[in-house]
């Protein structure tokens, strides 16, 4: 039975007044199916509450400081002049921009590529788009995850990406969520729906960029990859170092599809991503690539779950973390092989590099297998820089600090090299080396 210690209390600032404060301006009012979703989500959040370390899935991610902050239900749109100078902003792509959760019509770039529809979620709801009715809220589990429930109850806008059957979209679709505040903390709950129809191919870049201040960014992304479709989905999290970024991505794959997720975490005071993919077809491929770099007192948490539900599915997961100073990392990766998923091949690797005696990592790889003809492996390693490699570089005249930065960069760049888009790959590599305290190596 739940106790007051394990559930959020009704008077907690995050809950108090939010639902009623934004009710009149939420999109989709009058849509019975959506209003029922929102009502159930409010009930789910009140039941689940803000997690504490007594919840197993949040054991190493304390939210005590977070739960004491009086977040405003939303922020007023503001100018973010620093956004234009962020290295990822100018990438060649079709771009939509949201500032503090509010759509910025002046931030767009390029024409929408042939074979794809990209539109504001608020507009799609106003048009009663059947795609949204059929898919929104069907994959992200509000009844299990309090922050999904919070998003479902409170989202005011977001993006719908619909790639038509057999379309091959070469231009990346870039979704930019920029945040900044110099006043009271605020909460934003962007919602994204990505539907890739059978036989289609596309690349989606999702950037969460912060430029100062305390705020909550609570995005929820639902991804549907149809039969024989391919999607590369790269998420860059570079929030303010005072901010909280708590994200959920729920994906569903059809037969013969390929889904590649690239997760890059550099920012946030507390950054967490729950990534869940349901492999619901035969001959499916799923690639999860992740890099997270923590400095100062950052806490970066990655929870992944892969559900193999059908035979002949393949998944390959590699996450690498770099933690310095007093930063903390969490990796919890679960592979669940259902009884019908014979001949599953699943490989999971998590490696962490600790650059300081005060840095910590909590890693928990999990396999849960109910089929008997499978190949499943997992491994987790935690270590420090190799002394011999450092000595080798120093013996050739490279200063110690530069030598350590180069070795650390090489450790993580192995994952970044898997990003398919060359420009995104180069920019994230440059950002990595800059965060490690150096310029980009020649």
Please name which of 317, 218, 238 lies closest in space to residue 276, comparing C-alpha atoms. 317
Which residues partner with 289 through β-bridges? 262, 318
Nearest of 413, 405, 419, 336 to residue 374 by alpha carbon: 336
CB 309 within 8 A of CB 285: no
Domain ranges of the chain: 18-280, 385-442
Per DSSP bridges, beta strands 158-163 and 116-120 are: antiparallel
Closest CA to 241 of 216, 210, 197, 220: 210
- Output the DSSP codes for 66-105: HHTS--BS-------GGGGGSTTTTSSSEEEEEETTEE-G
Residue 303 structure tokens: 């929870």
Judge whether 41 and 142 are in contact, CB under 8 Å: yes
Going residue by residue through the chain, which has 442 residues, state the pLDDT in tens, using 9 for 90 and above. Answer: 344 434 444 444 455 467 778 888 899 999 999 999 999 999 999 899 899 999 999 999 999 999 889 888 876 777 889 999 999 999 999 999 999 998 999 888 888 999 999 999 999 999 999 999 999 999 999 999 999 999 999 999 999 999 999 999 999 999 999 999 978 899 999 999 999 999 999 999 999 999 999 999 999 999 999 999 999 999 999 999 999 999 999 999 999 999 999 999 999 999 999 999 999 999 999 999 999 999 999 999 999 999 999 999 999 999 999 999 999 999 999 999 999 999 999 999 999 999 999 999 999 999 999 999 999 998 888 877 666 555 545 566 666 676 667 778 888 888 999 999 999 999 999 999 888 876 444 3
Q: Is 309 helix (H, G, I), strand (E, B) or coil?
A: coil
Hey, how many other C-beta atoms are within 10 angstroms of the C-beta on 19?
19
Q: What is the CA radius of gyration of the chain?
A: 21
CA distances from residue 157 to 126, 145, 316 in whole angstroms, order as listed: 11, 20, 33
């Amino acid at each position: 039975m739940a106790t007051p210690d394990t559930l959020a209390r009704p008077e907690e600032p995050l809950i108090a007044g939010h639902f009623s404060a934004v009710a009149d301006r939420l999109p989709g009012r009058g849509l019975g199916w959506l209003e029922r979703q929102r009502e159930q989500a409010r009930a789910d959040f009140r039941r689940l509450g803000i997690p504490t370390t007594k919840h197993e899935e949040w054991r190493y991610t304390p939210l005590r400081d977070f739960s004491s902050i009086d977040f405003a239900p939303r922020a007023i749109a503001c100018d973010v002049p620093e956004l234009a100078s962020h290295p990822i902003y100018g990438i060649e792509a079709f771009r939509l921009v949201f500032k503090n959760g509010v759509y910025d019509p002046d931030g767009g770039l390029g024409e929408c590529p042939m074979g794809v529809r990209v539109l504001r979620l608020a507009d799609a709801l106003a048009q009663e788009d059947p795609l949204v009715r059929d898919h929104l809220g069907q994959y992200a589990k509000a009844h299990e995850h309090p922050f999904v429930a919070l998003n479902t109850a409170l989202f005011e806008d977001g993006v719908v990406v619909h790639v038509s059957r057999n379309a091959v979209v070469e231009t990346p679709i870039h979704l930019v969520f920029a945040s900044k505040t110099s006043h009271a903390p605020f909460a934003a709950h962007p919602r994204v729906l990505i539907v890739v129809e059978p036989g289609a191919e596309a690349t989606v870049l999702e950037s969460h960029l912060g430029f100062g201040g305390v705020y909550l960014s609570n995005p929820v992304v639902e991804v549907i990859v149809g039969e024989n479709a391919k999607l590369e989905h790269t998420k860059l999290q570079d929030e303010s170092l005072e901010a909280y970024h708590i994200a959920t991505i729920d994906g569903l794959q059809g037969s013969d599809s390929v889904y590649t997720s690239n997760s890059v975490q550099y920012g946030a005071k507390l950054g967490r991503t729950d990534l869940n993919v349901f492999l619901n077809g035969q001959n499916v491929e799923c690639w999860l690539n992740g890099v997270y770099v923590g400095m100062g007192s950052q806490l970066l948490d990655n929870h992944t779950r892969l559900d193999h539900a059908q035979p002949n599915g393949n998944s390959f997961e590699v996450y690498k973390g770099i933690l310095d100073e007093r930063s903390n990392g969490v990796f919890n990766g679960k592979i669940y092989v259902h009884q019908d998923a014979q001949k599953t091949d699943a490989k999971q690797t998590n490696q962490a590099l600790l650059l300081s005696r005060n840095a910590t990592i909590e890693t928990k790889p999990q396999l849960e297998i109910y089929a008997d003809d499978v190949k499943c492996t997992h491994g987790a390693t935690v270590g420090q820089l190799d002394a011999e490699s450092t000595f080798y570089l120093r013996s050739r005249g490279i200063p110690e600090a530069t030598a350590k930065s180069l070795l650390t960069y090489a450790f993580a760049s192995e994952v970044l090299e898997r990003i398919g888009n060359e420009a995104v790959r180069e920019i994230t590599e440059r950002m990595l080396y800059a965060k490690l305290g150096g310029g980009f190596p020649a």
